[in-house]
Structure 1
């Protein structure tokens, strides 16, 4: 069974935005990765917001999903219940919605 790589917003933005400090590191890491790369709709939404309103940057984000480079995993009602539990538990950190969806996805996929 293949091990999945969870893609967070920071790495997603760095992949798209060449001016990001970690752009080259993220590109190199993903070039070297041979397994599936998964993310959530919340991470995609947050990434689209952070790259700004320029269609070109947003299109690059969407193309990663549309061409199958990243698998977009939707949240189920059960996973959203777990998201709510985590956001409440870590409200003082705080844990935002996108981060919580990735934690739950990791739990569901049993990633380390």
Structure 2
């Protein structure tokens, strides 16, 4: 079975933006990962927003997407109830829309 790593916004932005505190560390982690990297459109949206302040950050993300380095899914369209239920259940802790979509991706992958 192929290994999969689900990628959230923080590591993605840190990988692209050299000014990020964890940039060097996450680059070394990514170089050692022997897995397909999956994320979702909500994570990509957050990353584009955060990388606006970075010099050529958006360009770096576009290159990463075009290279096929990431598999980008849109789980919300087929998992609306699950995503919204997760957000409601964890409304007392940081659980953004992107996070709930990552959980939906994990659940879908686990059940396939």
User: Above 0.5 in TM-score?
Assistant: yes
Tell me if structure 1 keeps the 8 A contact 2:76–2:83.
no
Equivalences, count: 111
Runs of 4+ with deviation above 4 angstroms: none
Spell out, residue by residue over 1:59-105, the C-alpha distance to the aligned partner (whole angstroms, 9 max, x if none). 21122111101110122533222100100111111411011111111
1:69-88 equivalences under 5 Å are: 69-88=69-88
Structure 1: which 5+ residue stretches go unaligned? Answer: none
User: 1:25 maps to which residue?
Assistant: 25
Q: TM-score, normalised by structure 2?
A: 0.90
CA contact (8 A) 1:12 1:47 kept: yes
Distance 2:94 2:17 in 1: 26
Question: Distance in 2 between the 1:63 and 1:13 partners?
Answer: 13
Structure 2 residues without counterparts, runs of 5 or longer: none
Find the aligned partners of 1:61 and 1:14 in 2 and give their Cα distance: 11
Pairwise CA RMSD: 1.7
